[in-house]
């Protein structure tokens, strides 16, 4: 089988799996479904063909495009009142990330880089794509990040709801939209900015340059024009593509070594509770945020998932979404620097 045919079948399987799980409205369903389908295909069909580096970089650029559009003028206006909470949250999360990476490296067989990216409070696909650039074992990072996301979505919202006695509200406020349909010229301008920024940073050998350059370029476009946009279907396609790439790296050998990840997974659970409650405690005491808002802001789940759940519970959703937006930007912007310093 030649490379083109392999990629077509691989991405076809990933697309089918992604759309199937998305239909069931599972958290990050498109990503998880594509990952599982590609992993299954790759386990059944073994090959020496390598996933093209250029295609991985292109996926990173598209991921950066989607993330960059979240950074809007309204975020800058909100920073006047949210600057201190955002700075505290980012500092606590990154410090916790570093602490537990050292613990995981010491207590398990994983390298520091793999532990570092596995403990990071970022996105599953974003971190797995970036981890490859730093020599981390991407398969382990992806599986542990997937475990983190599932744990956060399944455990934290019902736990916080019960702990704080919060019930569903009869009237729900709208979650701030993070995707805008826009126009075709707007889509093209956004894509051109993302491509230029991503390739420039990549050619300059900036760590995780493709995704960071795309984020920065699109964010600057949005701040200047407030018109950065992409077709709503692109986010799903990016999740499927990223999930397919990650799944293609997970083989039968990876699955046979899952026992190596049991202890790291337990450490990750401890980190999640430590990260959420320590950061929330500081935010409540210093910034006078409510416990519910502080906990949802400090829980490292997906932006959309945490925003929708907080909206259902009648919490301060705009603040929570803003905090998670800057969490993702900080993770992708600062983590490569820390990885270079401590790695």
pLDDT digits (tens, 9 = 90+) for 72-90: 777 667 667 788 898 999 8
Average pLDDT, the chain: 83
More confident residue, 104 or 169: 104
| pLDDT tens digits along 192-219 | 999 999 999 999 987 678 888 898 899 8
Q: Is the pLDDT of residue 248 over 80?
A: yes
- Residue 18 has what pLDDT? 93
Least reliable range by pLDDT among 14-23, 178-187, 272-281: 178-187
How far is 126 from 63, CA to CA, in rounded Å?
7
More confident residue, 10 or 246: 10
Query: Does residue 49 lie within any of the structural domains?
Result: no
Residue range of the domain that includes 99: 3-44+59-342
- Residue 176 has what pLDDT? 44
The total number of structural domains in the chain stands at: 1
- Residue 31 has what pLDDT? 82
Q: Is the pLDDT of residue 171 over 50?
A: no
Query: Does residue 78 lie within any of the structural domains?
Result: yes
Q: How would you label 288-325 residue by residue, b for 16+ Cβ within 10 Å and e otherwise?
A: ebeebbbbbbbbbbbbbbbbbbbbbbbbbbbbbbbbbb
Instruction: Kindly indicate the confidence band of residue 32, based on its pLDDT and cuts at 50, 70 and 90.
Output: confident
Instruction: Kindly indicate the confidence band of residue 174, based on its pLDDT and cuts at 50, 70 and 90.
Output: very low
Least reliable range by pLDDT among 79-88, 161-170, 278-287, 322-331: 161-170
Query: Does residue 52 lie within any of the structural domains?
Result: no
Q: Which tokens hold the place of 106?
A: 């010491």
What Å distances lie between residue 150 and 2, 42, 104, 156, 299, CA to CA?
36, 23, 20, 10, 12
Query: Does residue 158 lie within any of the structural domains?
Result: yes
Query: Does residue 50 lie within any of the structural domains?
Result: no
Instruction: Kindly indicate the confidence band of residue 191, based on its pLDDT and cuts at 50, 70 and 90.
Output: very high
Query: Does residue 187 lie within any of the structural domains?
Result: yes
Q: Is the pLDDT of residue 167 over 80?
A: no
User: Percent of the chain beyond pLDDT 70?
Assistant: 86
Which residues 6+ apart lie within 8 Å of 151 measured at CB? 268, 269, 272
- Residue 237 has what pLDDT? 92
Looking up tokens 């580096």, which residue turns up? 53
Which residues 6+ apart lie within 8 Å of 63 measured at CB? 125, 126, 129, 211, 214, 238, 242
| pLDDT tens digits along 110-142 | 999 999 999 998 766 667 777 888 888 888 888
Average pLDDT over residues 290-300: 86
């Amino acid at each position: 089988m030649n490379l083109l045919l392999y990629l077509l079948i691989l991405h076809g399987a990933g697309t089918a799996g992604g759309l199937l799980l998305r239909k069931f409205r599972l958290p990050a369903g498109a990503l998880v479904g594509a990952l599982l389908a590609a992993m299954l295909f790759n386990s059944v069909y073994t090959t020496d063909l390598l996933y093209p580096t250029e295609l991985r970089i292109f996926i990173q650029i598209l991921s950066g495009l989607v993330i960059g559009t979240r950074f809007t003028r309204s975020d800058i206006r909100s920073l006047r009142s949210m600057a201190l909470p955002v700075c505290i949250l980012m500092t606590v999360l990154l410090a916790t990330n570093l602490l537990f990476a050292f613990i995981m490296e010491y207590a398990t067989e994983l390298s520091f880089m793999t532990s570092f990216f596995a403990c990071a409070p970022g996105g599953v696909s974003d971190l797995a794509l970036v981890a490859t650039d730093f020599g981390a074992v991407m398969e382990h990072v992806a599986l542990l990040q997937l475990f983190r996301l599932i744990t956060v979505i399944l455990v934290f919202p019902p736990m916080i709801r019960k702990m704080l006695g919060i019930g569903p509200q009869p009237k729900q406020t709208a979650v701030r939209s993070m995707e805008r349909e826009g126009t075709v010229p707007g889509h093209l301008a956004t894509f051109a900015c993302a491509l230029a920024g991503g390739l420039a940073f990549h050619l300059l050998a900036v760590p995780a340059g493709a995704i960071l350059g795309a984020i920065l370029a699109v964010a600057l476009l949005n701040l200047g024009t407030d018109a950065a946009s992409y077709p709503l279907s692109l986010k799903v396609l990016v999740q499927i593509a990223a999930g397919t790439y990650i799944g293609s790296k997970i083989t039968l050998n990876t699955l046979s070594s899952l026992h190596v990840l049991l202890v790291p997974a337990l450490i990750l659970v401890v980190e999640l509770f430590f990260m959420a409650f320590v950061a929330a405690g500081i935010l409540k005491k210093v910034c006078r945020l409510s416990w519910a808002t502080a906990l949802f802001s400090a829980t490292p789940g997906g932006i959309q998932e945490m925003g929708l759940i907080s909206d259902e519970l009648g919490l301060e959703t705009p603040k929570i979404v803003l905090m998670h937006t800057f969490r993702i930007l900080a993770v992708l912007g600062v983590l490569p620097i820390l990885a270079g310093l401590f790695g």
